[in-house]
Structure 1
Amino acid sequence: NAKLSKRNGEVSIAWYREAGFLPEAICNYLALLGWSPGDDRENITMKELTELFTVERVNSSPARFDMKKLEAINGDKIRALPLDEFLAWALPFLTKAKVISGTPEEIAVVKSALPIIQERITRLNEVPAMLKFLFVKNFAVEAESLSKVTDAASKDVLKRAITELTPLTVWTHDSIEAALRSSLIEEMGLKPRIAFGSVRIAVTGSTISPPLFESMELLGKNASLERISAALAL
């Protein structure tokens, strides 16, 4: 943390907007730099700020900027957004990153996917990396993750996953989870991190993704199995 008067780095409000901070989160955090509502709350709405603010509670001590605290408040604000508002905030980041072009079909997929990442991000600029696996045309596992799907143990997991998932006639996150847990954890005795890590990378291309089973449901059975098979061939 650094005193605001001596702080270097990102000081333009445009930078914070492009980094995915909500205006309400910035106002919330800036208010807390030199003022307190009188309790331990950090997530305060604009309505509460206008009602609670008094000059008497302004602190004369030098303010220190804490990016982690700002990100935490921003994450709280993102989680509180209604879905349509979250969608409106997320779409510009997805189009700017060229993850989507903005067709109605793409927007419908994004809207279906946003609830499963809403609890996992602290900035809106994290949305493209989380959802790009749903839209990429020439899918490939990221180079830094290749070793986690090409070793012998990972290939055994992927083979077993294909065997268990192929017969499924109902493709929901519940049915996917039940099939993989029964086979990989209960029968093979693997820990969840080992059991599902290789499948996650094979399906999304990265270790950074939304929850695995929900991701596979959104991606669809055919695409999920095709990607797992492609990872096996690496």
Structure 2
Amino acid sequence: MKIVSNKDNLQVLHEDNHIIVVNKRAGDIVQGDKTGDKPLSDVVKEYIKEKYNKPGAVFLGVVHRLDRPTTGIVVFARTSKALSRLNDLFKNRETKKTYWAAVKNQLPKEQGTLVHYLVRNPKNNTSKAHTKEVNNSKKASLDYTIIRALNNYYILEINLHTGRHHQIRSQLSAIGCPIKGDLKYGFNRSNPDGGIHLHARQLSFNHPVNKEILNITAPTPNDPVWSSI
């Protein structure tokens, strides 16, 4: 069953006067879209308004996004100063992001680098990975390490060099290792909650105001695959 976030079950990983970091559930959309479903940004606003008894509208800036079926760390800005500086941090790739993914097929090596050229298709909201540069393609690169071999799945730790649309999903699919539950990229069946086993596990960055180094880790969802790690 899909359990999306609300102000009472929100998983807050870090909170201060300038930023709030939450652990997104599968099914949450970070920002409003054409579906009209309530976005995570509105849930966080409600949480802040109630916790701090704030009158009027609550300011909250969306800094980055995760795909709807993906879980893990999402950062929001609570002040305009933090939003501007966080936007620069993410744009200039002055953050370190680590993802975990569960795939059914073993990768060719225990660890390695994947390089592809991605072409985005806005009609079906996918990205196709090519081994060589083609028209309108953007280079995508990541490092992976197999951190656990389970009975039926392999758990990968992934560090991104680039931040392309559906990068991890399309690159893993291109080498025959689609992520568990990811029907869009070739996995053979869906997960019960409609999510996929891709989790934004860790994020490190300098706090936009006090410059303190923040190292944030998001617990994995409670399911048999993640619980086997």
TM-based fold match above 0.5: no
- In terms of fraction of residues, the more helix-rich structure is 1
Larger radius of gyration: 1
TM-score using structure 2 length: 0.26
TM-score using structure 1 length: 0.26
- In terms of fraction of residues, the more strand-rich structure is 2
